[in-house]
C-alpha cells in the first residue's frame, strides 16, 4: 500500500522553498522525501527530523551543528548537504538526491556478490570514510542502508555524524536488528566512537557482501550485541568455500574485537583492501558466488526457494570521477548476472564428421599455433601494481615483459606516499608485449602551513586562509588590550603548523579592551544613557516596558547586567519600568495569623507582624496597614497588627 498519500508533508512547501513531492524512506531519526528546490529548480532529498526528536532542544542543536560541519566535507563519494533549516515544528536537511538504490537493496535481491563487485563497492565507501576521518568526523552508523548506488553506478555514503547514541537502541524492530549488526564492541560496552568503529562496520559489510548474510545472527538485539562482544567475525570462506585467504584476512583485520589491532582509520583499511585486490587473480575476483551458479551446480530441493537471482535493473558501478586518481573507482562492477549457458540435451552426439576432425588436427599441428600467436601471443595483461612502490611496480612490469613508461606524481589523501596511485593502462588491461606502462606515484596528502594571521581583520584573514588552501573554521571572540576589535588574535592550530589542504582553521578574534558596565537600574532614562555613553557603550531602549519596583520611566532591567564587562562600543539594552503592578489587598482583619499570612502572600505581598506587648500570645489580626479592598504595589509589605 502506498502510504505516501497519507503523509501530511507530501504536497507542502517547506520554508517557502522546498516542495515535498514523495516520501522515499522512514528511519529511526527522520523521514526522507524527494523534493524540488523551487528557487534553483533542482531535485533534492529532504530529510525531516521526527517531531519527537525535534522537541529535544539539545539534540536539534547537535543535529544542526554536525550538519554544518558535514556540509564542508566535499568528496565525490559523500552525499552532500546543501541546506539546513526549520519551518514551524519541522527541522530539515536539504541534501543531494541520489537516484538509484542502496547496497541493502542489492544484497536483498542478489545475495552474495563476486569479490570484484564487493571490492568495487567497498573501496569508494572507504575513500569517503577516509576523507571524513582525516577531517575529524566519525560516521558511527555504517551499514548497507547508508551506502547509495546511483543509476550511473556512483557509490556514495549518506548520514555522516547524524545518528543518535547507542543507548537509544532498545526496540526489536528489523531496523534496530540491522543497526546493531554493525556496532563495534567498544560502542556497545563503552559508548566510545572513533574511526575504528567505522572500520569494524565496514568489515562486517564486506563479510555480508561476500556471503550474503550477516556474521552474527540472533532473534533479538541483545543476542547480536552479545556475539559482537564475545565472538570473532568468522572468515567468509567458511560460508562460501573457495573465497581467497586474502579476503578472510581483510575481514579479520577490520573486525578485530580489540580496536588497537584494527587499521586506525578507513584510509589504512583502503590501502589493505587494494593490496588484497592486487594479490588476487582475475579468476578469483570474478568467481561467482554459490547463488549465481547454473542450476546443475546446485542441490535445490523441490520445497526450497530457488537461489538463482532474477534479472535486476541495478546499476553498473562506474568511475566516480575520471579525472581523480582513485583506481578502485575506475573498475566496472560485476553486479549484473551473466546469461545462463544454453541447455544441452543429454545423450546428444557430436555431428562433427571427418572434415571437422582434420581441421582440428591441423589446428593442433600448426595452424592453431599461428592463430593463437596472432590473437594472444603478442599480448599480455598489465600486472597488479597499485599500492606498490615504484621499484616493486617496475619489477612486476619487467616480469610481465613490459617497460616502464613515464612516471608522474600526484597528491593523494588515501594512497601511501611513494606508492602507485594509478597505471596507464590500468592493471588487468590487455597490452602488447614490450609496450610501456606509465605510473602515477603518490606524494601523500597535500599539506600547507597555517599562515600567521595575527592582526588581520577577520574578512582579510578568511581570504588569506582560502588563498593558502585552507578553510575558515569556528570563530571565537575574547577581550584583548593589544589587538583592536574585529582583528585576529590567534589561530587554532597556531601559525606555522602543517595541515592537510582544505582543513578548517579556527580563528580567535578580539572583542577589544574590556569595559566595566555600570549598573543603571532605578535611574531615569537620561541619566542612565549618560552614564553608559560615558563608559564607551551604546544604548538601545527596548520597546516593551515591564512592571517593577521602580517608578514609571525608570530603568527596570539592563542587558548586559551592571558590574559585568563588555567590549568598547558594545550596546546595552535598557528596559523601562511601567511602575509597580497594583494589586487589591485582601481583607484579613479578624482572621487567624496563619490564614491572614497565606491570603496576603498568595496575593503577592510580603507580610510583617506587629504583636506589641499585648499580642505576644495572640492569634487574631486586629488591623492591617492597608485596608482590605484597597490596592498596593505587588511585592510591597503589608503589616498586620495582632491581638
Express each pLDDT in 52-83 by its tens digit.
Answer: 777 777 777 777 776 777 777 778 899 988 88
Statement to judge: residues 471 and 489 lie in one domain: yes
Q: Which bin fits 104, alpha (ψ -120 to 50), beta or left (φ > 0)?
A: alpha
What whole-number distance in Å separates Cα of residue 170 and Cα of residue 54?
A: 20
What is the enclosing helix (H) or strand (E) of 87?
A: strand 81-87
Q: How far apart are the first and last CA of the chain?
A: 81
Residues 277 and 120: beta-carbon distance below 8 Å: no
What whole-number distance in Å separates Cα of residue 493 and Cα of residue 31?
A: 38
Statement to judge: residues 92 and 117 lie in one domain: no
Statement to judge: residues 105 and 158 lie in one domain: yes
Q: Which three cell numbers stand for residue 538?
A: 551604546
Runs of H (alpha helix) within 220-265: 221-230, 245-254
Statement to judge: residues 117 and 203 lie in one domain: yes
What is the enclosing helix (H) or strand (E) of 369?
A: helix 368-372
Statement to judge: residues 485 and 540 lie in one domain: no
pLDDT, one tens digit per residue, over 162-216 is 543 333 333 333 333 347 889 999 888 887 788 999 999 999 999 999 999 999 9
417 domain residue, yes or no: yes
Q: Which bin fits 163, alpha (ψ -120 to 50), beta or left (φ > 0)?
A: beta
CATH (domain of 277) = 1.10.510.10
Statement to judge: residues 148 and 225 lie in one domain: yes
Q: Is the pTM of this model over 0.75?
A: no
CATH (domain of 46) = 3.30.200.20
Each as own residue / partner, the long-range contacts of residues 255-260 (CB below 8 Å, 24 or more positions apart, any chain) are: 255/200, 255/203, 255/204, 255/207, 255/215, 256/200, 257/185, 257/228, 257/229, 257/232, 259/184, 259/186, 259/194, 259/196, 259/200
Residue, of 113 and 300, whose pLDDT is higher: 113
Statement to judge: residues 214 and 280 lie in one domain: yes
Statement to judge: residues 173 and 231 lie in one domain: yes
Q: Which three cell numbers stand for residue 60?
A: 536539534
Statement to judge: residues 132 and 275 lie in one domain: yes
Beta pairing partners, 282? none
What whole-number distance in Å separates Cα of residue 414 and Cα of residue 326?
A: 9
Tell me, what DSSP letter sits at residue 364? I
Catalytic residue among 15, 87, 141, 403: 141
The pLDDT of 503-519, averaged and rounded, is 89
120 domain residue, yes or no: yes
CB-side exposure of 317: number of CA atoms within 13 Å? 28
Instruction: Verify whether residue 608 is a known catalytic residue.
Output: no
Residue 350 predicted with pLDDT over 80: no
562 domain residue, yes or no: yes
What whole-number distance in Å separates Cα of residue 24 and Cα of residue 47?
A: 10
pLDDT, one tens digit per residue, over 7-38 is 788 888 888 889 999 998 887 778 899 999 98
Residues 488 and 509: beta-carbon distance below 8 Å: yes
- Provide the pLDDT for residue 416: 83
Residue 432 predicted with pLDDT over 70: yes
Q: Which domain holds residue 429?
A: 379-442
CB-side exposure of 207: number of CA atoms within 13 Å? 28
Q: Which bin fits 534, alpha (ψ -120 to 50), beta or left (φ > 0)?
A: alpha
Cα–Cα nearest to 186, from 171, 168, 174, 199:
199
**Sequence-ordered strand ranges (E) for 497-604:** 498-500, 504-510, 514-516, 538-541, 555-559, 565-567, 571-576, 582-584
CB-side exposure of 113: number of CA atoms within 13 Å? 27
Beta pairing partners, 624? 640
Number of independent structural domains in the chain: 6
- Provide the pLDDT for residue 219: 78
Last residue of a domain, one of 479, 510, 541: 510
CATH (domain of 399) = 3.30.10.20
Burial per residue of 86-119, b for 16 or more beta-carbon CB atoms within 10 angstroms, e otherwise: eeeebbbbbbbbbebbbbebbbeebbbbbbbbbb
604 domain residue, yes or no: yes
348 domain residue, yes or no: no
What whole-number distance in Å separates Cα of residue 39 and Cα of residue 539?
A: 40
67 domain residue, yes or no: yes
For the purposes of burial, counting CB atoms within 10 Å of the CB of 37, is it exposed (0-12), middle (13-18) or buried (19 or more)? middle
Cβ contacts of 328 within 8 Å, gap of 6 or more: 119, 120, 123, 124, 127, 270, 273, 274, 277
Residue 159 predicted with pLDDT over 60: yes
87 domain residue, yes or no: yes
Q: From residue 330, how far is each of 31, 39, 144, 421 by CA, in Å? A: 33, 35, 21, 12
Beta pairing partners, 540? 573
Q: Which three cell numbers stand for residue 109?
A: 535481491
Residue 280 predicted with pLDDT over 90: yes
Tell me, what DSSP letter sits at residue 255? T
- Provide the pLDDT for residue 378: 65
Mean per-residue pLDDT over the chain, rounded: 80
Statement to judge: residues 71 and 176 lie in one domain: no
364 domain residue, yes or no: no
Q: How confident is the model at residue 324 (pLDDT cuts 50, 70, 90)?
A: very low
- Provide the pLDDT for residue 338: 39
Last residue of a domain, one of 576, 609, 627: 576
Last residue of a domain, one of 419, 442, 465: 442
- Provide the pLDDT for residue 615: 62
Cα–Cα nearest to 24, from 50, 51, 48:
48
**Sequence-ordered strand ranges (E) for 182-312:** none
Statement to judge: residues 146 and 122 lie in one domain: yes
Statement to judge: residues 552 and 613 lie in one domain: no
SS3 of residue 25 by DSSP = strand
Residue carrying the nine cell digits 561476500: 210
Residue carrying the nine cell digits 573507482: 329
Amino acid at each position: 500500500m502506498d502510504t505516501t498519500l497519507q503523509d501530511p508533508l507530501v504536497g507542502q512547501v517547506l520554508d517557502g522553498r522546498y516542495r515535498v513531492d514523495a516520501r522515499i524512506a522512514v528511519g529511526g531519526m527522520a523521514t526522507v522525501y524527494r523534493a524540488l528546490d523551487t528557487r534553483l529548480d533542482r531535485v533534492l532529498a529532504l530529510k525531516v527530523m521526527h517531531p519527537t526528536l525535534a522537541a529535544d532542544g539539545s539534540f536539534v542543536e547537535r543535529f544542526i551543528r554536525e550538519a554544518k560541519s558535514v556540509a564542508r566535507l566535499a568528496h565525490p563519494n559523500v552525499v552532500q548537504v546543501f541546506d539546513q533549516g526549520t519551518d514551524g515544528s519541522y527541522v530539515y536537511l536539504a541534501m543531494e538526491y541520489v537516484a538509484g538504490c542502496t547496497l541493502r537493496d542489492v544484497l536483498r535481491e542478489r545475495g552474495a556478490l563476486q569479490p570484484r563487485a564487493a571490492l568495487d563497492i567497498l573501496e569508494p565507501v572507504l575513500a569517503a570514510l577516509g576523507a571524513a576521518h582525516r577531517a575529524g568526523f566519525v560516521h558511527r552508523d555504517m551499514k548497507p542502508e547508508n551506502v547509495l548506488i546511483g543509476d550511473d553506478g556512483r557509490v556514495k555514503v549518506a548520514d555522516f555524524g547524524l545518528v543518535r547514541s547507542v543507548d537509544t537502541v532498545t526496540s526489536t524492530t528489523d531496523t534496530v536488528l540491522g543497526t546493531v549488526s554493525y556496532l563495534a564492541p567498544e560502542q556497545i560496552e563503552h559508548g566510545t566512537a572513533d574511526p575504528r568503529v567505522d572500520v569494524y562496520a565496514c568489515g562486517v559489510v564486506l563479510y555480508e557482501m561476500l556471503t550474503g548474510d550477516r556474521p552474527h545472527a540472533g532473534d533479538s538485539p541483545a543476542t547480536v550485541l552479545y556475539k559482537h562482544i564475545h565472538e570473532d567475525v568468522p572468515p567468509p570462506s567458511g560460508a562460501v568455500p573457495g573465497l581467497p585467504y586474502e579476503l578472510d584476512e581483510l575481514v579479520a583485520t577490520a573486525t578485530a574485537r580489540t580496536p588497537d589491532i584494527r587499521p586506525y582509520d578507513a584510509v589504512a583499511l583502503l590501502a589493505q583492501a587494494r593490496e588484497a585486490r592486487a594479490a588476487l587473480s582475475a579468476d578469483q575476483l570474478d568467481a561467482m558466488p554459490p547463488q549465481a551458479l547454473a542450476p546443475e551446480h546446485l542441490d535445490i530441493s523441490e520445497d526450497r526457494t530457488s537461489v538463482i537471482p532474477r534479472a535486476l535493473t541495478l546499476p553498473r558501478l562506474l568511475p566516480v570521477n575520471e579525472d581523480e586518481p582513485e583506481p578502485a573507482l575506475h573498475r566496472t562492477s560485476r553486479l549484473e548476472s551473466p546469461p545462463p549457458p544454453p541447455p544441452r540435451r543429454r545423450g546428444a552426439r557430436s555431428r562433427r564428421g571427418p572434415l571437422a576432425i582434420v581441421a582440428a588436427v591441423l589446428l593442433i599441428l600448426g595452424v592453431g599455433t599461428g592463430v593463437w600467436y596472432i590473437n594472444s601471443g603478442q599480448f599480455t595483461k598489465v600486472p597488479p601494481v597499485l599500492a606498490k612502490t615504484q621499484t616493486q611496480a617496475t619489477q612486476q612490469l619487467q616480469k610481465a615483459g613490459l617497460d616502464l613508461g613515464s612516471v608522474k606524481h600526484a597528491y593523494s589523501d588515501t594512497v601511501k606516499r611513494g606508492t602507485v596511485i594509478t597505471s596507464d593502462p590500468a592493471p588487468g588491461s590487455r597490452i602488447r608485449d614490450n609496450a610501456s606502462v606509465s605510473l602515477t606515484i603518490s606524494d601523500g596528502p597535500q599539506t600547507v602551513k597555517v599562515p600567521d594571521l595575527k592582526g588581520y581583520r577577520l574578512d582579510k584573514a578568511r581570504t588569506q586562509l582560502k588563498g593558502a588552501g585552507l578553510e575558515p573554521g569556528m570563530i571565537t571572540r575574547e577581550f584583548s588590550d593589544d589587538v583592536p576589535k574585529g582583528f585576529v588574535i590567534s589561530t587554532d592550530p597556531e601559525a606555522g603548523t602543517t595541515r592537510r589542504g582544505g582543513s578548517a582553521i579556527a580563528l580567535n578574534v578580539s572583542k577589544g579592551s574590556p569595559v566595566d558596565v555600570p549598573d543603571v537600574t532605578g535611574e531615569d532614562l537620561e541619566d542612565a544613557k549618560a552614564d553608559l555613553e560615558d563608559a564607551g557603550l551604546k544604548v538601545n531602549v527596548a520597546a516593551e516596558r515591564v512592571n517593577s519596583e521602580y517608578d514609571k520611566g525608570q530603568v527596570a532591567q539592563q542587558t548586559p547586567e551592571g558590574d559585568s564587562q563588555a567590549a568598547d562600543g558594545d550596546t546595552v539594552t535598557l528596559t523601562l519600568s511601567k511602575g509597580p503592578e497594583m494589586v487589591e489587598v485582601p481583607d484579613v482583619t479578624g482572621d487567624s495569623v496563619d490564614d491572614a499570612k497565606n491570603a496576603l502572600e498568595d496575593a503577592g505581598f510580603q507580610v510583617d507582624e506587629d504583636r506589641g506587648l499585648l499580642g505576644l500570645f495572640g492569634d487574631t489580626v486586629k488591623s492591617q496597614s492597608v485596608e482590605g479592598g484597597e490596592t498596593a504595589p505587588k511585592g510591597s509589605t503589608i503589616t498586620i497588627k495582632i491581638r
